[in-house]
Amino acid sequence: MVISPVHYIAVPLLAAFTIPLFAKIHKELTRIIPGIVLIYLTYVSYVLMSKVMTTGPIVEIIAGWKAPWGINLVYNGFSGFIASLMSIMGLLIWIYSYKFKKVDDEPALKFYILFLMMVAGSIGITITGDVFNMFVFLEIVGITSYSLTAFYRGRDGAEAAFKYLLIGSFASVFLLLGILLLYTHVGTLNMAQIAERMHTIPTSVKLSIFVMFAVALGIEAEMFPLNGWAPDAYSQAPGPVGAAFSGIVVKAGVYALIRIIFTLFDIEGSLQFLIVMGLITMIIAEVSAIRQTNLKRMLAYSSIGQMGVVLIGFGIGTTEAIFAAIFLMFNHAIIKGLLFLSGSFLVYNDDKKQIASLSRFGKKLPVVSFLFALGAFAIVGFPPFAGFWSKLYLLLAAADKNLIFLIAIILMVSVVEVIYYLRVVGKLYFGKEESKIEPKKPAFNSLIVMLILGAIIILVGVYPDVITGFIHNAADTLSDKATYISNVLPSL
Amino acid sequence: MFGDYQNVVTMSVYGSSIALILIGLYGVLIKKHLMKIVIGLSVVDSGVNLMFVAVGYIKGGTAPIFSPSVIDSKPLMVDPVPQALVLTAIVIGFAVTAVALSLVIRLFKHHNTARIDQIKSLKW
Amino acid sequence: MMNTYILILLILFGGAFAAYFLNKLAPILSGLTAFAATTIATILFYTQVKIGSQVQLTIGGINLEWGINAYSWLFSFIVLGLGTLASLYSIQYMQNKERQGYFYLNFLLSIGAMMGILLSHDFVSFFIFWEIMTWSSFLIVIYNGKDVKKIGIKYMIFSAIGAYAMLMSIVMIFAETKSFLISDFINLISTTGFSNHILMITLLLIGFGVKAAVMPLHVWAVGAYSNSPMSYTSVFSGALSKMGIYGFGIVMLAAMTYVSPTISENAGSGYSIISIEVIKIIFQWLGAITAIMGTLYALKQTDAKKLLAYSSIAQLGYIITGIAVGTKLAVMSALFLAVLHGIFKGTLFMAVGAIERQTGTTDMTKISGLIRKMPWTFIASLMSIIALAGIPPLAGFVPKWLLYEGLITSGHYFLVILLFFSSTAAFLYCYRFLFGLFLGQEEEETKNVKEAPASMVIPMMFLAGLTLVFGTYPGLLFKPIANAMEFVGMHDVTWNMTVLSNVWGDTVSLNLVSIAIFVIFISAALFLFKGMRGTRYVTTKDISTSGEIPTENENLTYQLDFFKPFERAVAPLYKRTMDKIYNAIGESLEAVFDFTRSIYTGNGQTYAIYVIVFVVILLIFKDSIF
Amino acid sequence: MKKYLAIFLLLIVGFYLIQAFNLVPFGANRVGNIDDESTVGAYYLKNTVPKTSVANVVTAIVVNYRGFDTLGEVTVLFLATTGLGSILFRKRKHGEEEERVLKESSQLVKIGSRLLFPFIALLGIYVFIHGHLTPGGGFQGGAIIATGFLLMLVAYKNYKLGHGALTWIESLAGITFAGIGIWGLITGGTFLENNAFPGLGNVNDLISGGVIPIIYIAVGFKVAAELTGVLDILLSIKPNKN
């Protein structure tokens, strides 16, 4: 059996269906199997990415029906990169959460199935080449996210999950309407064919369809004003899930939005729209973040803000800017992952997750605090950490298009970001008085994961060339629409 | 079949599904009770699903099943794709509703109320 | 040869991490590591590095170029020299303090970063090292855990504003030249004129101005200087602030000297009203105002650390003025002062650190009469204070002379008056510093104070000795300065080993001055010692006034209101306007932020309405939006 | 106030929806000429019978052409049950019996339900076994069976469902679906490829269409088990004390 992109979906699904049976043999298997699957997915990523880098995109046919007739998976530089990122993040977060105690208390069986499917669904969104299939995967991610957000009892998880579900339902309604309208006009659901037939749709209808898609996927990509659910969901979900939201789920949303804008539609104003929305999202989120007293909420707002910057990057639209934006997505996944993972140990025993409660934790939890500080430094873009390069590339791309005003705003917002992150770091090491709350010592496996993420941050920061090759390839792939169409529909 | 009443039928089929969507949305936006909001979501879903089926209809078409009686005559058939899609949409709608209901139960137990404007412990 | 730069940086950065981890074994080891790393780096630098050599690297698709030139060589003298001495000093100073590993990690990181800045020939590595320097110094500023929010965050806010202004400028420069090399930027402004690129230049100057504590951007400096451990402050104020001067010099000097006069300054740009002359005048005045305000605030301080911190700000003001005036003499004086300030302010902060370590305080109202207890510290401080005040024969006289001469010959009479006022007022705080700490009556509390250990005294004495050497033979410094000026395009700088001269032909032979002053000083000292024999020492509490015995808590120390009449005279200047403005801005921003985040009401339905409103807006305006 | 604002906004949304669908006349032939294969609908109508031997085109689309969607859909259901279980999970005290909120029904309802249940189940099974021939299929059949269980759950206060059996059915059905998919890969074809059997059989025979009916039967069982599971979980919630 040759390894192909469908393994990303098929194997986790098969595993998810089998886990309830294995649970009858031994409880521990429910935890181990998702891990094995994620290790396998990482291996799949390795094999497929090396194939993509050497021989070009892989288009896989499902059920033996060629491109416009059946569903197909497109694994090219961009989707492959994001999918690999997701599978690696998924694996790391699984290792981290393996003995995460609070997860252990609850029915672990369900947690790990849901988590596995959340990762698989996100990967599905990225690699699918069919609009309706994307909707199905979005719903898989949605259902798992709602359930995982409400996973802890005794917290406001249910409230956060309900808001998420409410807004998420709007997303699915608008997405369905958009897909329906699109289908009635082009008579197909295959993205490449839609893209190819897009010019046949009357402009006004096209715009309406675009509005529906943009709103639906904007909700998933945490675009303002559609992101009311995000801070709540991030802050109430279990720590590893928060990391997965920022490292995996949002990436899927942004990916879908970008795929729609760059490949499906040919609307000129959509890029400016992205810039403006990204800008507003960034400003409002960062400004809200600075006034937070809840650590997780602060991280959540920061995450939203970063997504805004990513949207700006894509909105600028040149290959360099897309490169910067993808680099930013990568950095955000790694760094915000580290921040969420280490942060959830810092506030582990504080039910209110207050920043004030981690005063002088630097002594009690030296490694975790150090890693949090590292993440904070990296995310605000201090060299020599990973965040710096993406910021630099983004600004260079913006300067190239002479968007001076935009640069100024991004940098001003960065100052805000610096303030609130360093405030936490200062608190960690030099808080006024020692916090009364006893911290929770991280288990070995969690520590390893955080150290790996920290090492990646430093490695990419010192020598970004380890990753830029892939990202350049991804950026080139995304900006080349004609090749996408001809890859999927060779006959046309 | 419908002749001159084409517009009326268009209005009634599309109109009713759009009306369902709007009524559902109204419930979601205005009703304070969580159950009503969930019901609103279901109504919206129904509207969208109805829209799917309506759009797939072709005047004079039969169901897209090649039963023994029609397999040779190849009559005009309606578009099968929206029907397949709507099946998926219905099931997904069901799943979301189930999760929503369970969340409502949790919320009601936690806050002892089901009014959405009183459940705001997470804000700013 | 090729890799010496990388090797030096590796030693410094690697030493930083080694120091951090060795702290776990024994704290003393990390101090020794820091000393060893800086020493080795210094030796390597001065034996292996030739001016003009370069090394190219490519990282992330960006070409970097590292090398040393005459101009950066001058500054490396401060960084490495002060770094080595401060790390030697730190070993004993930091003894018994907690988290030494953390301290030395950031200490070495910032020294390495400063070296990196000096080595960078391109803006990207310049910025990278600049940021490393910023955050490592931030981490030391908050090391005490005191007033993290007020001081540390303030420092970081200003640094971040500065750094991002610089970054913005860098990307704009890249967009224009497609190159990150600083030399290409100089080429750009020298071929297309200065005023066409006024925005990027202003932004760069803001970035450097923050570190150089220029007037409206100075509010972070006092807290940051006085809050870090003194062994670092000597580097912080002595060397790190000079990085601002370094960058400032690059832009201003290159802009002033390379822009060919044939280019029409006002050609085709929206900003054409602002020419280089305007920028020069602005910074001349900002520098002068900084000098005066720094001096005035220094007068008021009762804490020796803060006094020195304000004094640093004032001195940086002189330097800025000197560079901004831009004549050869002025620039020479500014660069001379830049090096010298590193020397004497380094010494003074070290001396204060020694006093803090031995007595536990630096409050001038609490301690006095340390001259007998800490004689070496006193001598070092005395010499540095003399240098600071600009009295011959010590080196401070030289830049002062040059600066006044430079200003007068270029016709900036009003600036001369301002600076003269400032340096006269500086005598007052210099005196107060000496008097408050060392002279006067001994306090009960300082009875058992001993001299600081040798490893702390030696760096101080060494630096103090340098002020004497450069005061007598300023030519030793003139030579590299002249080279540096040559490099930035100011040709034919004349200098003499021991003689200062002015355009009218008047000359001052510093040797003669030195000998004369030395003779006077010795005889005065002999006289004083002779006269002192008959005096009786009383403690500060040993007073009786009209038969009333003062209570314990009544402070009769007269250091408290030392310059009251003078302060009263200049009281209107003490309004701290900038602080107030910044605080007002901060508070109103916080209010705006709080208002903004109330968008997230917490009601799920409101969010749903947002979605619908957004949809409606997009649908209605879809034709104009897209 | 808010009410009128909402109505106003919704009317605008409605206006634009109508405007968008106005260009899609009701009942117009958008599939195009079937022989052109210009739309996917036309392709399916033309090729389903010759290429898959399935009479019901919708079934062919659901299970084969877009079988990947259906797999996802089944997963969504599965995840909904799992999610429900995790959201409403509560630790039971030792020996605590499940107790439903329902009232005991009358004898008439009980006996009536018991009488009806086999027929409902049979109907459901018929619907999904004939999914590739007649209208209906796995989802519809499964839903019908779940209705039968709902009837029983409502009628009997303490109707016991075999949780173990439900899990087995769910998992096995899921494994069958995903396994058939992977079988396609193993045999050198594509995922979910309809090549498990050498022949596709004759159109309108009960045994025809390759793996399509098998998948649909698996889906039927899975849907039935999952819907029943959801009902069971939602019914066994204890009310608040106050």
DSSP 8-class letter at C562: T
- In terms of CA atoms, which chain D residue is nearest residue C613? D9
- In terms of CA atoms, which chain B residue is nearest residue A165? B100
DSSP 8-class letter at D63: I
DSSP 8-class letter at D159: P
For the segment C568-586, the average pLDDT, to the nearest whole number, is 76
Which residue in B81, B90, B112 is closest to D40 by CB distance? B81
Against chain A, the chains showing at least 3 CB pairs within 8 Å are B, C, D
Which residue in B21, B63, B67 is closest to D204 by CB distance? B67
Torsion on CA atoms C153, C154, C160, C161, rounded to nearest 10: 150
Q: How far is CA C503 from CA A175, C371, C481, in A?
A: 81, 43, 19
- In terms of CA atoms, which chain C residue is nearest residue D13? C616
Check pLDDT > 80 for residue B17: yes
Nearest chain B CA: its distance from A162 CA (Å): 6
CB-based contact C612 D16, cutoff 8 Å:
no
Position C577 scores a pLDDT of: 72
CB-based contact A180 B55, cutoff 8 Å:
yes
Element containing residue A333 per DSSP (H, E): helix A319-346
Which residue in D18, D73, D83 is closest to B18 by CB distance? D18
| B28 in contact with chain C, both atoms CB, cutoff 8 A | yes
Contacts of A231 in chain B (CB under 8 A): 122
CB-based contact D13 C609, cutoff 8 Å:
no
Closest Cα partner for A97 from A137, A159, A43, A151? A151
Position C268 scores a pLDDT of: 43
User: Is residue A126 within 8 Å of A255, Cβ to Cβ?
Assistant: yes
Which residue in D2, D55, D88 is closest to B66 by CB distance? D55
Distance between CA B60 and CA B78 in Å, rounded?
Answer: 8
Check pLDDT > 90 for residue B43: yes
Q: Which of C313-322, C349-358, C518-527, C617-626 has the lowest mean pLDDT?
A: C518-527
| B37 in contact with chain C, both atoms CB, cutoff 8 A | yes
Distance between CA D184 and CA D179 in Å, rounded?
Answer: 9
Contacts of C223 in chain A (CB under 8 A): none
Kindly state the tokens that stand for C380.
């070092």
Of C605, C613, C616, C625, which to mutate for an interface test with D (greatest number of D Cβ within 10 Å)?
C616
Q: Which residue has the higher pLDDT, B53 or C511?
A: B53
User: Is residue A378 within 8 Å of A366, Cβ to Cβ?
Assistant: no
For the segment B107-122, the average pLDDT, to the nearest whole number, is 83
pLDDT digits (tens, 9 = 90+) for A241-269: 889 998 899 999 999 999 999 988 888 88
Position B3 scores a pLDDT of: 47
Residue D120 domain-assigned?
Answer: yes
CB-based contact D65 A63, cutoff 8 Å:
yes
Which residue in D43, D75, D86 is closest to A140 by CB distance? D75
Position C400 scores a pLDDT of: 82
Q: How far is CA B119 from CA A350, B104, B109, in A?
A: 22, 11, 12
The CATH number of residue B48's host domain is: 1.10.287.3510
User: Is residue A440 within 8 Å of A350, Cβ to Cβ?
Assistant: no
Instruction: Supply the DSSP string of C148-178, one letter for each residue.
Output: IIIIIHHHHHHHHHHHHHHHHHHHHHHHHHS
CB-based contact C603 B117, cutoff 8 Å:
yes
- Read off the pLDDT band of A331 (50, 70, 90): very high
DSSP 8-class letter at D98: P
For the segment A186-192, the average pLDDT, to the nearest whole number, is 88
For the segment A213-218, the average pLDDT, to the nearest whole number, is 92
For the segment D39-47, the average pLDDT, to the nearest whole number, is 86
For the segment C432-460, the average pLDDT, to the nearest whole number, is 78
State the maximum Cα–Cα separation within chain C, in Å, rounded to a whole number. Answer: 98
Residue type, A79: S
Nearest chain B CA: its distance from C608 CA (Å): 7
Of B88, B104, B112, B113, which to mutate for an interface test with D (greatest number of D Cβ within 10 Å)?
B88
pLDDT digits (tens, 9 = 90+) for B44-103: 999 999 988 888 888 888 888 888 888 787 788 888 889 889 989 999 999 999 999 988
Residue B124 domain-assigned?
Answer: no
Of A301, A415, A460, which to mutate for an interface test with C (greatest number of C Cβ within 10 Å)?
A415
Distance between CA C58 and CA C379 in Å, rounded?
Answer: 50
Closest Cα partner for B81 from C189, A157, C345, A188? A188
The label of the residue with tokens 């070409």 reads: C63
User: Is residue D191 within 8 Å of A10, Cβ to Cβ?
Assistant: yes
CB-based contact A377 C135, cutoff 8 Å:
yes
User: Is residue C314 within 8 Å of C304, Cβ to Cβ?
Assistant: no
pLDDT digits (tens, 9 = 90+) for A45-98: 999 999 988 888 888 888 888 878 888 899 988 999 999 999 999 999 999 988
Kindly state the tokens that stand for C321.
């003025």
Closest Cα partner for A168 from A125, A228, A112, A208? A228
Beta bridge partners, A60, equal A73
CB-based contact C619 D10, cutoff 8 Å:
no
Phi, psi torsion values for C517, nearest 5 degrees: -65, -40
Kindly state the tokens that stand for C146.
């005191």
CA angle A237, A238, A243 (to 5 degrees): 85
DSSP 8-class letter at A65: -
Q: Sign (positive/negative) of CA torsion C314, C316, C322, C323?
A: negative
Against chain D, the chains showing at least 3 CB pairs within 8 Å are A, B, C
Q: Which residue has the higher pLDDT, C538 or C483?
A: C483
Residues 6+ apart with CB under 8 A from D232: D153, D161, D166
Check pLDDT > 80 for residue C385: yes
Residues 6+ apart with CB under 8 A from C443: C366, C367, C368, C369, C539, C540
For the segment D221-239, the average pLDDT, to the nearest whole number, is 83
Strands A58-61 and C62-67: unpaired
Q: Which residue has the higher pLDDT, B3 or A293?
A: A293
Residue D2 domain-assigned?
Answer: no
CB-based contact B29 C598, cutoff 8 Å:
no
Residue A185, number of CB atoms within 10 A of its CB:
21
Range of the domain at D122: 56-87+104-236
Closest Cα partner for A323 from A387, A270, A252, A390? A390
Q: Which residue has the higher pLDDT, C267 or C404?
A: C404
Question: Within A70-201, where are the H helices?
Answer: 77-97, 101-105, 108-127, 131-149, 157-186, 191-197
CB-based contact C597 B124, cutoff 8 Å:
yes
User: Is residue B15 within 8 Å of D26, Cβ to Cβ?
Assistant: no
User: Is residue D221 within 8 Å of A91, Cβ to Cβ?
Assistant: no
Position A345 scores a pLDDT of: 85
| B72 in contact with chain C, both atoms CB, cutoff 8 A | no
Closest Cα partner for D180 from D190, D170, D167, D166? D190
Phi, psi torsion values for C603, nearest 5 degrees: -95, 120
Q: How far is CA D123 from the centre of its chain?
A: 15
Position C266 scores a pLDDT of: 45
Phi, psi torsion values for C578, nearest 5 degrees: -65, -45
Position C448 scores a pLDDT of: 75
- Average pLDDT, rounded, for chain A: 88
Ramachandran assignment for D229, one of left (phi > 0), alpha (psi -120 to 50 degrees), beta (any other): alpha
DSSP 8-class letter at B115: B
pLDDT digits (tens, 9 = 90+) for D62-95: 888 888 888 898 999 999 988 888 888 766 666 5
**Can you give the residue ranges of every domain in chain C?**
283-528, 591-626
CB-based contact D9 C612, cutoff 8 Å:
yes
Beta bridge partners, C545, equal C548
Strands A58-61 and A72-75: antiparallel
Contacts of D240 in chain B (CB under 8 A): 108-109, 112
Contacts of B116 in chain C (CB under 8 A): 603-605
Q: How far is CA A157 from CA A163, A167, B106, B109, C447, in A?
A: 10, 15, 9, 13, 64
Structural domains in chain A (count): 1
- In terms of CA atoms, which chain D residue is nearest residue B94? D77
Contacts of C611 in chain A (CB under 8 A): 167, 170, 215, 219, 225-226
CB-based contact B116 C603, cutoff 8 Å:
yes
Contacts of A176 in chain B (CB under 8 A): 48, 52, 89
Position C272 scores a pLDDT of: 46
Position C263 scores a pLDDT of: 47
| D225 in contact with chain B, both atoms CB, cutoff 8 A | no
Q: Which residue has the higher pLDDT, D153 or C556?
A: D153
pLDDT digits (tens, 9 = 90+) for A339-349: 999 988 888 87
Contacts of A162 in chain C (CB under 8 A): 604
Closest Cα partner for A244 from A89, A39, A386? A89
Phi, psi torsion values for C95, nearest 5 degrees: -50, 140
For the segment C430-438, the average pLDDT, to the nearest whole number, is 81
- Read off the pLDDT band of C380 (50, 70, 90): confident
State the maximum Cα–Cα separation within chain B, in Å, rounded to a whole number. Answer: 66
Nearest chain D CA: its distance from A110 CA (Å): 6
Residues 6+ apart with CB under 8 A from A57: A74, A75, A76, A77, A477, A483, A487
3 state SS of D110:
helix
| C615 in contact with chain D, both atoms CB, cutoff 8 A | yes
Contacts of B85 in chain A (CB under 8 A): 132, 179-180, 183
Residue B96 domain-assigned?
Answer: yes
Check pLDDT > 80 for residue D98: no
Contacts of B54 in chain D (CB under 8 A): 26
Distance between CA B67 and CA C216 in Å, rounded?
Answer: 86
- Read off the pLDDT band of B37 (50, 70, 90): very high
Range of the domain at B45: 3-118
Check pLDDT > 80 for residue A434: no
Residues 6+ apart with CB under 8 A from C577: none
- Average pLDDT, rounded, for chain C: 80
Position C265 scores a pLDDT of: 45
Residue type, D43: Y
Position C285 scores a pLDDT of: 87
Nearest chain B CA: its distance from A445 CA (Å): 32
Q: How far is CA A112 from CA A119, A158, D80, D167, in A?
A: 11, 19, 14, 17
The model carries a pTM of 0.91
Tell which A residues from 222 to 281 touch D, by Cβ distance under 8 Å: none
Range of the domain at A243: 7-488
Against chain C, the chains showing at least 3 CB pairs within 8 Å are A, B, D
Which residue in B52, B104, B124 is closest to A180 by CB distance? B52
- In terms of CA atoms, which chain C residue is nearest residue D11? C616
Instruction: Supply the DSSP string of C415-471, one letter for each residue.
Output: HHHHHHHHHHHHHHHHHHHHHHHTSSPPPSTTTT--PPPHHHHHHHHHHHHHHHHHH
Structural domains in chain D (count): 1
Position C447 scores a pLDDT of: 72
Distance between CA D197 and CA D207 in Å, rounded?
Answer: 11
Contacts of B22 in chain C (CB under 8 A): none
Position C269 scores a pLDDT of: 43
Check pLDDT > 60 for residue C483: yes
Residue D194 domain-assigned?
Answer: yes
Kindly state the tokens that stand for C256.
């002033």
Which residue in B29, B121, B122 is closest to C609 by CB distance? B29
Residue D97 domain-assigned?
Answer: no
Nearest chain A CA: its distance from D96 CA (Å): 18
User: Is residue C335 within 8 Å of C402, Cβ to Cβ?
Assistant: no
Phi, psi torsion values for A180, nearest 5 degrees: -60, -50
Q: Sign (positive/negative) of CA torsion C625, D2, D3, D4?
A: negative
- In terms of CA atoms, which chain A residue is nearest residue B46? A173
Residue D240, number of CB atoms within 10 A of its CB:
10
Question: pLDDT over 90 for what percent of chain C?
Answer: 2
Kindly state the tokens that stand for C463.
């630096």
Position D165 scores a pLDDT of: 86
Distance between CA D196 and CA C86 in Å, rounded?
Answer: 79
Question: pLDDT over 70 for what percent of chain A?
Answer: 98
Tell which A residues from 142 to 171 touch D, by Cβ distance under 8 Å: 143-144, 146-148, 150-151, 153, 158, 161
Closest Cα partner for A34 from A105, A87, A104, A100? A87
Position C544 scores a pLDDT of: 52
Nearest chain B CA: its distance from C603 CA (Å): 6
